Amino acid sequence: MPDTVRLLTAWGVTLAYGGLCAAVYLRHRRRQRIAVAPLGDGGRPVLVAYASQSGSAEALAQHTARSLGAAGLNTTLVPLNRVTPALLATHEQALFLVSTCGEGDAPDNGALFERHCMADADPDLSRLHVGVLALGDREYAHFCAFGRRLAAWLEARGAVPLFAPLEMDNQDANALAAWQQQVAHIAGSGETPDWRAPAFTPWRLLERRHLNPGSSGAPVFHLALAPEHGPLPEWQAGDLVQVQPPEAGEHPRDYSIASLPADGALHLLVRLQARPDGTPGLASGHLCKDLEVGRSVALRLKPHANFRLGDNAGRPLILIGNGTGIAGLRALLKAREARGDKRNWLIFGERHAGPDRHYREDLARWRNNGLLPRLDLVFSREQAAKDYVQHRLAQRGDVLQDWLDEGAAVYVCGSAATMGAAVDETLAQLLGREALDRLLAEGRYRRDVY
Q: Domains of the chain by range and CATH?
A: 2-187 (3.40.50.360), 202-301 (2.40.30.10), 305-449 (3.40.50.80)
Give me the torsion for CA of 20, 21, 23, 27, rounded to 10°.
140
Q: What pLDDT sits at residue 248?
A: 64
DSSP H helical ranges for 163-317 = 173-187, 282-285
The vertex-314 CA angle with 311 and 318, nearest 5°, equals 90
Q: What pLDDT sits at residue 103?
A: 81
Rounded to whole angstroms, the Cα distance separating 444 from 312 reads: 7
Q: Of the candidates 28, 38, 112, which has an alpha carbon nearest to the alpha carbon of residue 76? A: 38
- The 3-state DSSP class for residue 107 equals coil
Spatial strand order in the sheet of 253-256: 253-256, 240-244, 296-302, 201-210, 220-227, 266-271
**What backbone phi and psi angles, to 5 degrees, belong to 54?**
-110, 0
The vertex-257 CA angle with 216 and 234, nearest 5°, equals 165
Q: What pLDDT sits at residue 198?
A: 86
Instruction: Name the burial class of residue 392, with classes exposed (0-12), middle (13-18) and buried (19+) by CB atoms within 10 angstroms of its CB.
Output: middle
Q: What pLDDT sits at residue 42?
A: 53
CB 318 within 8 A of CB 218: no
Q: How far is CA 432 from CA 25, 59, 419, 437, 449, in A?
A: 22, 32, 19, 9, 22
Q: How far is CA 228 from CA 55, 242, 394, 422, in A?
A: 26, 16, 46, 41
User: Could you tell me how far CA 385 lies from the centroid of its own chain?
Assistant: 32
The DSSP element (H or E) to which 270 belongs, if any, is strand 266-271
User: Could you tell me how far CA 79 lies from the centroid of its own chain?
Assistant: 12
Q: What pLDDT sits at residue 129?
A: 97
Q: pTM for this one?
A: 0.87
Rounded to whole angstroms, the Cα distance separating 143 from 137 reads: 6
User: For residue 46, which amino acid is it?
Assistant: V
Q: How far is CA 323 from CA 242, 252, 351, 360, in A?
A: 19, 21, 8, 13
List, as one string, the DSSP characters of 352-417: -TTTT-TTHHHHHHHHHTTS-SEEEEEETTSSSS---HHHHHHHTHHHHHHHHHTT-EEEEEE-II
- The 3-state DSSP class for residue 279 equals coil
Q: How far is CA 237 from CA 172, 356, 404, in A?
A: 28, 23, 22
Q: What pLDDT sits at residue 413?
A: 97
Q: How many CA atoms lie within 13 A of 22 on its CB side?
A: 10
**What backbone phi and psi angles, to 5 degrees, belong to 227?**
-60, 140
Regions of the chain short of the pLDDT cut 70:
1-43, 248-250
